[in-house]
């Protein structure tokens, strides 16, 4: 676990996945979740991954987080292995479910990450690519996302949207070099979703972290991202990479502009061909 296994091709200024293969199961039930995936995400970028269900988006995210090891190929996060990046608390994870601890109030929940893995600071300093930032004021961060009145509430007293914002603040509070988000807003209604997107962009802009964002929503991907990666299934692979050149900051009003629709259509086309290339047949 503790061996820092730096891949040969590791780059200090990007998240780099090279020739990654991930196979689940064996024999007849074998499932190629990722087939020879190459991804290069530069520091500070907001990259979304979009694709049909089961194409391996979550698997790719877990690979970056060090929660899975590739069967072939390499993964590195700013020059070190994902495991070493986790040990230095360079990675923040926002899962699909908010995953808050129900016995802690909002402030305690977002403060808990600082209390575990105390040795991470030391390890962070040893990693060349890491950008030093001072610890944020959690209360201020909570206020910034509209949770100022809820700091002492328990998760059960919050709405789904407030819980998800808490989870985002918890991840951002670590000042991670990279924030991994797996469909964080999929359980939210459209309006809440758009509002939180705006808040996410604000924090991201302020903290200059790198975000890898899995989503099912084309609109969400276009609004948030610098680059959208389109994946297709069977086997899971990346079929297109679209740079979103819309200027920032991107307000809610921008969603209605023709340029915005242009990018949405572009990604829909890619998704459609991804769908035809790798149709989801009924699971064996």
Partner 1 sequence: MTSTMTTHDTPGANGTAADGIDPAVSAPVVALPVKTTGAGTRASRLQFLKPAYWAPVLVLLVGLGIVWTVVAKDSPYLLPPLSAVGEALAGNPLFYLQNAWATLQVALIGLVIGFVVAYVLAILVSELPLARRAIMPVAVVLNVTPLVAIAPALVVAFGFGPEPKLIVTALICFFPILIGVSTGLRSVSPAVLQVFTTLHASRLETLWHVRMPSALPYLFNALRIVFPLSIIGAVVAELAAPGAAEGLGTVISVASSNNRLAVVYAAIVCLALMGSLLLLIITAIENRALHWHDSRQGSRG
Residue 204: strand, helix, or coil? helix
Residue nearer to ligand ATP on the CB measure, 22 or 130: 22
Q: Does 91 bind partner 1 (CB under 8 A)?
A: yes
Q: Residue 59 Cβ, how far from Mg ion at the closest point, in Å? A: 8
**Vertex 14 angle, CA 49 and 132, to 5°:** 115
Subset of residues 41 to 70 that bind partner 1, contact rule: CB under 8 A:
62, 65-67
**Rounded to whole angstroms, how far apart are CA atoms 176 and 207?**
9
Residue nearer to ligand ATP on the CB measure, 30 or 159: 30
Binding partner of residue 55 among Mg ion, ligand ATP, partner 1, none, CB under 5 to 8 Å per kind?
ligand ATP
Subset of residues 139 to 198 that bind ligand ATP, contact rule: CB under 6 A:
none
Q: Does 59 bind ligand ATP (CB under 6 A)?
A: yes
Which positions ≥6 away from 118 have C-beta within 8 Å?
none
For residues 240 and 274, the answer to whether their CB atoms sit within 8 Å is: yes
Q: Residue 153 Cβ, how far from partner 1 at the closest point, in Å? A: 7
* Residue of 92, 220, 89, 195 whose CA lies nearest to 144: 195
Residue nearer to Mg ion on the CB measure, 50 or 75: 50
Q: Does 75 bind ligand ATP (CB under 6 A)?
A: no
Residue nearer to partner 1 on the CB measure, 174 or 271: 174
Our measurement of the distance from residue 71's CA atom to the centroid of its chain's CA atoms, rounded to an integer in Å, reads 22
Q: Does 156 bind partner 1 (CB under 8 A)?
A: yes
**Rounded to whole angstroms, how far apart are CA atoms 96 and 90?**
20
Our measurement of the distance from residue 123's CA atom to the centroid of its chain's CA atoms, rounded to an integer in Å, reads 23
**Rounded to whole angstroms, how far apart are CA atoms 50 and 64?**
16
In the block, residue with structure tokens 């059960």 = 156
Q: Residue 216 Cβ, how far from ligand ATP at the closest point, in Å? A: 6
Q: Does 121 bind partner 1 (CB under 8 A)?
A: no
Contacts with ligand ATP, residue ranges (CB under 6 A): 24-25, 31, 33, 51, 53-59, 236
């Amino acid at each position: 676990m503790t061996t820092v296994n730096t891949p040969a091709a590791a780059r200090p200024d990007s998240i780099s996945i090279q020739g990654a293969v991930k196979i689940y199961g064996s024999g007849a039930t074998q499932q190629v979740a990722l087939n020879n995936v190459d991804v290069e995400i530069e520091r500070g970028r907001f990259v979304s991954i979009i694709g049909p269900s089961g194409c391996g988006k979550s698997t790719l995210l877990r690979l970056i987080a060090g929660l899975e090891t590739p069967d072939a190929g390499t993964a590195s996060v700013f020059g070190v292995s994902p495991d070493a990046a986790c040990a230095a608390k360079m990675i923040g994870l926002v899962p699909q479910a908010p995953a808050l601890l129900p016995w802690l109030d909002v402030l305690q929940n977002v403060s808990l990450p600082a209390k575990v893995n105390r040795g991470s600071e030391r390890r962070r300093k040893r990693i060349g690519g890491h950008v030093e930032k001072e610890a944020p004021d959690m209360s201020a961060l909570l206020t910034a996302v509209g949770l100022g009145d809820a700091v002492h509430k328990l998760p059960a007293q919050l709405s789904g949207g407030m819980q998800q914002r808490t989870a985002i603040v918890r991840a951002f509070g670590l000042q991670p070099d990279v924030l991994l988000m797996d469909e964080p807003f999929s359980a939210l209604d459209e309006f809440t979703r758009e509002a939180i997107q705006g808040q996410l962009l604000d924090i991201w802009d302020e903290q200059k972290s790198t975000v890898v964002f899995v989503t099912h929503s084309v609109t969400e991907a276009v609004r948030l991202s610098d680059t959208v990666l389109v994946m297709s299934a069977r086997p899971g692979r990346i079929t297109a990479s679209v740079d979103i050149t819309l200027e920032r900051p991107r307000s809610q009003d921008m969603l209605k502009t023709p340029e915005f629709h242009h990018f949405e259509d572009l990604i829909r086309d890619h998704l459609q061909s991804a769908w035809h290339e790798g149709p989801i047949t009924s699971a064996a």
